[in-house]
Chain A
Amino acid sequence: MPVELTEGDRAVLRGERGEAAALAMRIVVEMAGVSAAERLIDVTSAHVDGCLYHGVAGLEFAERLVAGGARVAVPTTLNVGALDLLHPDRYRGDPGVAANARRQMDAYVAMGCRPTWTCAPYQLPERPAFGQHVAWAESNAIVFCNSVLGARTDRYGDFIDICAALTGRVPLAGLHRDEARRARLVVTLEGISERLLASDSLYPVLGHLLGREAGSEVAAIVGLPADTSEDRMKALGAAAASSGSVAMVHAVGVTPEAPTLEAATGGEEVRELRVTTARLRAFRDELSTVAPERLGAVSVGTPHASLAELERLAGLLGTDEVAVPLYVNVGREVLAAAEGRGLVPRLEALGVRVVSDTCTYISPVMDEVSGPVMTDSAKWAWYAPANLGVDVVIGGLEECVRSAVAGRVLLDEALWADA
């Protein structure tokens, strides 16, 4: 069945909005065929990941669109690039790659995308409302958008993200549809201590377990506190979208499409997975590549730290200087807000290095490290060993800060005791 197009879609295909829009529409229509969608729908905004350079094909595509007169049709934010444009001296990689990376970032800005350079677009004030259809790329943003905001995006990525932004249209497929959003797996927390539930340390590890166990399925978690913060859901979702392909997760009593378990599953009987503290410990241990002893550096803020997380970091540090470099990744709009509160000079005076527009695991912006890197992010722990060739140790933010100050890994084992 060919996809059903509107007169407007056909006009764009004919080139009435320029060559670039026609190219973008051809790709959207062909992808509708791949996903067997019956028709296209409007999106109200887009978040584009294609601005990150990883080869000339992506650069040629972006520059072809710019040459064809590309202008985004809906408000569009940009994910991280390969460079920290606010701190360009941090980049230690190949200058030729840096030049191409800069051209790629510039091309997306030239198409009318906002230079937000953040993997956490949900921290921006204009984020999508419940029930809106959007086209978001970047796996952690996708899972947050679907799960926490209750806005609807399928798994978009390189190429198709900007095509959706230029046309304002996407195939009616995947997580845009009600039936794909229902939980097919229930994850029940069993005998987890109040202390662990109240700790940041739990959420990335639970997300990592979810990614390994759920694959690409939508799960519903039962047993999370009703006041679980957005930052904790961010850590959980980012982890699940790294070790698995999770694009949506319900937390019963927390996320908007799961007031009850029945609402999340649509009342259907689904597979159940019970999660004990012992199981969580095993998945935590899988994330660390070395025994916790020496420490080279600490990296937090993957996905980008929120203002609340920066304040917490400053509070945990107090007046203590770090003994090893502590990097924090942050979007430039949150950075501006933090500067307004005087947080940034305070952190920098204690030795904290603030990275914006990019991230420490995708681009060579950290100084040479001698020894393992500690992180509070399961996503960082999952990708950095292969990307950067470093060993990692996972811990909560509190443990990361204590360790950075002490210059050696200090973990709170008691946190992971059986209840």
Chain B
Amino acid sequence: MPEARTLVAGTARGRALVLDEPLSFWGGVDPATGDIIDARHPQHGANVAGRILVMRTGRGSSSSSSVLAEAIRGGTAPAAIVLGEADPILALGAIVARELFGTTIPVIVTAESALSTDDPATVRADETGVELRGRGRGHPTARRG
């Protein structure tokens, strides 16, 4: 069973968007639309709004916290972020959004998600553990209490 951990608690449902490379929200995502605007990124042109965003890690500037908080405020953020390793910068953006706007998105770490882009997925994350379900190939589930 893959190891999984909650960085920011919450529940979400959406279609997966699996990124081939780490994405910096600062300079990489337009918080007004949710579009991936980093021209060097393989998923350039895709939109993160409402998706279960799966990536190995965030990348780059600490200002990504602000951009994620801004996107959560404007409703253009992913529904959840599923990371391969802990990224304090993205977790912080989600935590601050909850404090400021009373709404946030779950951020979790899991060694393996097995999700493919467009798979419908749900995330349930709290202090006791993480549940990640995909309705795509293999019905992957990660759970750790």
Contacts and interface: CB of A to CB of B under 8 A. Distances in A.
Interface in A1-48: 23, 26-27, 30-31, 34-36
Nearest to A386: B27
A56 B60 CA distance: 21
A136 B70 CA distance: 23
B86 A155 contact: no
B67 A34 contact: no
B116 interface: no
A57 to B, nearest CB: 4
B66 A159 contact: yes
A55 interface: yes
A158 interface: yes
A139 to B, nearest CB: 7
Interface string B47-90: 00000000000011111011101100100000000000010110
Contact of B65 (A23, A35, A158): A158
A36 B88 CA distance: 11
A35 B88 contact: yes
A156 interface: yes
A139 B60 CA distance: 10
A130 interface: no
B97 interface: yes
Given A26-B99, A386-B27, A57 B66 contact: yes
A112 interface: no
Given A61-B100, A160-B92, A56 B70 contact: yes
Nearest to B6: A33
B41 to A, nearest CB: 12
A34 B88 contact: yes
A321 B7 CA distance: 56
A30 B95 contact: yes
A54 B26 CA distance: 10
B96 interface: yes
Most buried by A among B66, B69, B70, B93: B66
Interface string B105-117: 0000000000000
Interface in A281-310: none
A156 B89 CA distance: 9
Contacts, number: 76
B31 interface: yes
Given A55-B31, A56-B70, A159 B86 contact: no
A64 interface: yes
Contacts of A137: 62
B91 interface: yes
A264 B128 CA distance: 39
Contacts of B86: 34-36
B100 A57 contact: yes
Contacts of B26: 54
Contact of B73 (A27, A56, A159): A56
A158 B66 contact: yes
B73 A57 contact: yes
A159 B88 CA distance: 12
B91 A61 contact: no
Contact of A31 (B59, B60, B66, B91): B91
Given A55-B70, A57-B69, A158 B63 contact: yes
A159 B64 CA distance: 11
Contact of B99 (A27, A36, A55, A56): A27
Contacts of B66: 54-55, 57-58, 158-159
A269 interface: no
A266 B31 CA distance: 43
A31 B88 contact: yes
Contacts of B70: 55-58
Contacts of B93: 159
A61 B62 contact: no
A157 B100 contact: no
Contacts of A399: none
Nearest to B32: A55
12 contacts: A26-B99, A34-B92, A36-B86, A54-B66, A55-B31, A56-B73, A57-B66, A57-B100, A58-B66, A64-B100, A139-B61, A157-B65
Given A57-B66, A160-B88, A245-B59, 10 more contacts: A23-B99, A26-B99, A27-B95, A34-B86, A35-B88, A36-B86, A137-B62, A157-B61, A157-B65, A159-B96
Closest A-B pairs by Cβ, 7 of them: A157-B62, A57-B69, A57-B70, A55-B70, A34-B91, A158-B65, A58-B66
